[in-house]
Chain A
Amino acid sequence: MTTTRHGVPRVEADAVSYRYPDGTTALHEVSVRVAPGEIVAVLGRSGAGKSTLMRCLAGLAAPTSGRVLHDGIDRGGLRVRAKRRAHARVGLVFQEFQLVERATVLSNTLIGRLACQPLLPSLVHFVRRADREIAVEAVRRLGLEDQLRKRADALSGGQRQRVAIARALAQQPDLLLADEPVANLDPVLARGVVDDIVRLARVEGLTAVLNLHDVDLARDVADRLVGLRAGRVVFDCPTASVTTADLDLLYADPDRALAGVR
């Protein structure tokens, strides 16, 4: 779709199609390239294939056809250990936080460091000092240092999602993927959390892909917008050049022949 100026993209979907076992096709030959350091928002209605694309980019789902390349490498061909290391380089933030509710903020964040721990000590929850410091630093960056020893289920929704972001940052990833990270939060909290993700991604020089529902929010934070509709890329261009007509195309309701943004 777009050409990257920086050579090898950080992450690339190359003609990715995805068909569910029941025969529904979620993605039709989707090609998206994200350059290092770029922040991309994926827009589209529910069911447009945003989450499936995210799962493919994250390596949680294998495309039915096409390839996903991370720094030019197809993770599908990797062996178990190398695959785990490749996974650790991708930080994930999910819609439903996916925290261990009964564990502390620190313990949840340390899960992001497990991939590089010696196995046996880590099984009895012994984590090297340097790694604990990385985790604490990630928690601090999200402003949760006072909650470090609190249980995740004692926190508010916005704080929980920040713990999930801290867990992703603790992995020291080079790619951050966020699948509807704020769909469970109210608009004000949502903006704060997305701002945090983008700010930290910029500070760390991370590449980030976010699935977002809120068009205005996406326009404010992303370098580039990708529009998905019924599993196909409708537009893929710098934020400034996305027009209202493009967005209408995305959210137009074919059933009622009524064009309007949501």
Chain B
Amino acid sequence: MTLDTKPAEQTPSTADLAALRRPSWQTGAGVLVAAVLVLWSAQATEFSAAALLDGIPHITDFVGRMFPPDLSILPTAVTLMGETLAIAVIGTTIGVLLALPWALLAARSVFGQAWLHHAARTSINVTRAIPELMWALLFVSAVGLGPLAGTLAIIIGSAAGMARLFADIFETMDMRAWEAAAAAGATRSQRISWVLLPQSVPTIASYTLLVLDGNVRAASLLGIVGAGGIGMELTQQLRLFEYGNVLTIVLVVLVVVVTLDRAASYLRKKLI
């Protein structure tokens, strides 16, 4: 609005403004720290070019023994992949149902009370901090081996992840229609149902598909700790050195995951 008139000597010249900036000492220190961290990590994991070269014969030998894939295990693999998909679908569905109210509580724009969204955010972050595989281990101890443990792990893991995503969606949403509905006398819950959800459903559906995709991958691994799905069979066959079977199982997972990924990204494009 008002133009400040500054003394002429304070105005830098064009040459000054165009001068190249030397990186600050913070940038230099940051690069140094990162380099040290990477070198230390390489040492700690015994990762080196020499080790990699030494390992090549072993790797080729291992890959060689996987061929040809043993198709006799295919029916079992398909059945177990079905179980894996079922774990992911149920886990995602119930996960979404839990995530929505959780996210509403965590969204500052929906509930003004600071204690409420702080509590909800904290509970989300704590739950999210525990990896799904760890939840699976806990549930295997609690409810025993099998797909139920896996499903529970996926529910908890993805509900927290989605609650975080959805809360961010709600917080970044255009609140003008929300304000108008409030001014028309609509209650908060009516505004959630008539304004907030209609506006965010496409984004929520899109993220849910992405999460479903991730959950199929996660569910394929859960069997490793005995929580059902195809991972159980995979570890079994690896222990028996049946590398042909291992390849078949890996291929089944690959086909399903890639198909789902393509289908999900097609649907997501349609949604947004």
Contacts and interface: CB of A to CB of B under 8 A. Distances in A.
A171 B194 contact: no
A99 B181 CA distance: 9
Contact of A112 (B179, B184, B189, B198): B184
B192 to A, nearest CB: 8
Contacts of A122: 190, 193
Interface stretch (A15-23, A27-35, A88-96, A240-248): A88-96
A230 interface: no
B198 A111 contact: no
A101 B193 contact: no
B183 A124 contact: no
A123 B193 contact: yes
A82 to B, nearest CB: 11
A111 B195 contact: yes
Q: How many B residues are at the interface, by size bracket?
A: 20 to 34
Interface string B188-214: 011001110011011000000000000
B193 A125 contact: yes
Given A88-B185, A98-B177, A114 B199 contact: no
Interface residues of A, number: 35
B198 A102 contact: yes
A140 interface: no
Given A102-B199, A102-B202, A107-B194, A171 B184 contact: yes
B176 interface: yes
A58 B189 CA distance: 22
Given A119-B189, A119-B190, A101 B181 contact: no
Given A111-B194, A119-B190, A123-B189, A94 B180 contact: yes
Contacts of B202: 102
Interface in A71-105: 84-85, 87-88, 90-92, 94, 96, 98-103
A217 interface: no
Contacts, number: 80
A100 B186 contact: no
Contacts of A167: 180, 184
Nearest to A88: B185
Contacts of A130: none
A41 B252 CA distance: 71
Given A102-B198, A102-B202, A111 B186 contact: yes
A103 B198 contact: yes
A110 B177 CA distance: 13
A114 B177 contact: no
Nearest to B175: A98
A63 to B, nearest CB: 17
Interface of A: 58-60, 84-85, 87-88, 90-92, 94, 96, 98-103, 107, 110-112, 114-117, 119, 122-125, 164, 167-168, 171
Identify the 3 closest CB pairs spanning chains A and B, nearest first.
A115-B185, A88-B185, A98-B180
Interface of B: 176-177, 179-187, 189-190, 193-195, 198-199, 201-202
Given A111-B181, A112-B184, A116-B185, 18 more contacts: A58-B183, A84-B185, A85-B185, A87-B182, A88-B184, A92-B184, A100-B194, A100-B199, A102-B199, A102-B201, A107-B194, A107-B198, A111-B184, A114-B181, A119-B189, A123-B189, A123-B190, A164-B180
